[in-house]
């Protein structure tokens, strides 16, 4: 396929682009500044300059592609207004352009944080969502727009904390989570398995307007997650803030529908493999 990937220079998008190319697809990467995308240079990768906030710039980007995989988002450091503009309105602009161009598939990478705090209970895709912070609120708004749009085959992947494959995400998140309770558990997924989930949606027929949680088999506690990068456990000094992230994901649907099986079912497996 020819696939437009947004956020192709980001953590998820850059690794996904590499694996899509390895699977024989042709990737068109949507970038605001082509000079920043030099790391993606290679066979079967082209660039389209555009911005989610500029609807007109997306028309050429979606022209002639078979699928859109929308990974771009504004997360850490975004004001509520910026999160809404990029993650919600920007997604609306992209989806409208894709529908007008008769794109066959639209895959949206959302977040498991849309469920809101539920005390660490496993959240299923049909559970109600009640996020309380700006980023998941904006992603949920985008989901609802996408799932209500006519004439576009939409699938939503709700991602947990994504790690591995040379990504310093765990170490980078430690300052934010330093005050979380050490025993609080977190759903995670390796970059390899996020890419696998996208590939399975592209390759296999599945119901349109379907939501899938993507998650490893085991949710480690934060003490274990911190230890994986040599950090001492969190101190629990900001448990109130931690509740906004206290949700675990049920991953049965994608396994039953698409045959998904994590390459790294547990954090310990990725560590043992040096991955």
Q: What is the CATH number of the domain that holds 253?
A: 3.40.50.720
Half-sphere exposure of 244 (CA within 13 A, CB side): 14
Beta strands in the chain (DSSP E): 2-6, 26-31, 45-49, 67-70, 105-111, 122-123, 154-159, 161-163, 188-190, 210-213, 248-249
| pLDDT by position in tens, the chain (length 275) | 999 999 999 999 999 999 999 999 999 999 988 777 767 777 889 999 999 999 999 999 999 999 999 999 998 888 999 999 999 999 999 999 999 999 999 999 999 999 999 888 899 999 999 999 999 999 999 999 999 999 999 999 999 999 999 999 999 999 999 999 999 999 999 999 999 999 999 988 767 789 999 999 999 999 999 999 999 999 999 999 999 899 999 999 999 999 999 999 999 999 999 99
Asked, for residue 270, whether it belongs to a domain, the answer is no
Query: What is the count of structural domains for the chain?
Result: 1
Q: So what's the pLDDT on residue 264?
A: 98
Q: Which two tokens stand for residue 129?
A: 């969502």
Asked, for residue 44, whether it belongs to a domain, the answer is yes
Q: So what's the pLDDT on residue 200?
A: 95
> Which range of residues forms the domain containing residue 29?
2-163+188-217+248-264
Asked, for residue 170, whether it belongs to a domain, the answer is no
SS3 state at 27: strand
Asked, for residue 12, whether it belongs to a domain, the answer is yes
257 near 210, Cβ under 8 Å?
yes
Asked, for residue 180, whether it belongs to a domain, the answer is no
Asked, for residue 230, whether it belongs to a domain, the answer is no
Check residue 4 and report its DSSP letter: E
Asked, for residue 224, whether it belongs to a domain, the answer is no
Q: Which of 11, 104, 139, 261 is catalytic?
A: 139
Of all residues in the chain, what percent are helix, strand and coil, respectively (each to 5)? 40, 20, 40
Asked, for residue 174, whether it belongs to a domain, the answer is no
Closest CA to 64 of 52, 51, 46, 87: 46
**Is-catalytic flag, 139?**
yes
Q: So what's the pLDDT on residue 43?
A: 84
């Amino acid at each position: 396929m020819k696939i437009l990937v947004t956020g192709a220079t980001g953590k998820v998008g850059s690794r996904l682009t590499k694996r899509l190319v390895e699977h024989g697809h042709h990737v068109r990467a949507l970038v605001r500044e082509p000079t920043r995308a030099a790391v993606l240079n290679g066979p079967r990768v082209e660039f389209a300059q555009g911005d989610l906030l500029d609807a007109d710039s997306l028309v050429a980007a979606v022209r002639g592609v078979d699928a859109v995989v929308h990974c771009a988002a504004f997360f850490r450091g975004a004001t509520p207004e910026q999160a809404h503009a990029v993650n919600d309105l920007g997604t609306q602009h992209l989806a409208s352009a894709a529908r007008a161009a008769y794109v066959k598939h639209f895959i949206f990478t959302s977040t498991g944080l849309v469920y809101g705090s539920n005390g660490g209970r496993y959240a299923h895709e049909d559970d109600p969502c009640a996020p309380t912070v700006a980023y998941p609120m904006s992603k949920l708004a985008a989901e609802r727009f996408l799932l209500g749009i006519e004439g576009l085959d939409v699938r939503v992947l709700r991602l947990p904390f994504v790690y591995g494959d040379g990504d310093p995400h765990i170490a980078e998140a430690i300052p934010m989570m330093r005050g979380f309770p050490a025993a609080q558990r977190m759903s995670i997924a390796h970059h390899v398995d996020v890419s696998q989930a996208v590939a399975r949606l592209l390759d296999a027929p599945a119901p349109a307007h379907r939501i899938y949680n993507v998650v490893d088999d085991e949710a480690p506690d934060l003490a274990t997650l911190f230890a994986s990068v040599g950090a001492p456990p969190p101190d629990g000094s900001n448990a109130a803030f931690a509740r906004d992230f206290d949700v675990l994901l049920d991953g049965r649907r994608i396994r039953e529908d698409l045959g998904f099986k994590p390459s790294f079912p547990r954090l310990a497996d990725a560590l043992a493999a040096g991955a």
